[in-house]
Amino acid sequence: MSGRHLLVKICGLSGPGDLEAAEGADMVGVVINVPHSPRNRSWVEAKEIFRAASGRFVPVAVLVDPSVDSVERALKETGAEFVQVHGKLPDGLAQKHLTRVIPSLGLPRERTDGRPAAPPETAGLEDFPFVHLDSASDGAMGGTGQAPDRRLVRLLVENHPEIKFLLGGGLTPLNVVSALRDVCPAGVDVSSGVESSPGVKSPKKMSLFIQAVRKWEARHA
Confidence (pLDDT) at 186:
97
3-state SS, residue 111: coil
Domain boundaries, the chain: 7-220
Confidence (pLDDT) at 144:
55
Confidence (pLDDT) at 137:
54
Question: What distance in Å separates the CA atoms of residue 190 and residue 176, rounded to the nearest whole number?
Answer: 9
Confidence (pLDDT) at 221:
67
Q: What's CA 170's distance to the chain center, in Å?
A: 11
Give just the sign of the alpha carbon dihedral 31, 83, 44, 13: positive
Confidence (pLDDT) at 116:
63
pLDDT tens digits in sequence order for the chain, 221 residues long: 446 899 999 999 999 999 999 999 999 999 999 999 999 999 999 999 999 999 999 999 999 999 999 999 999 999 999 999 999 999 988 888 899 999 999 998 876 676 767 778 888 899 999 999 998 754 444 455 678 988 899 999 999 999 999 999 999 999 999 999 999 999 999 999 999 999 999 999 999 999 999 999 999 86
What is the CATH code of the structural domain delimited by 7-220?
3.20.20.70
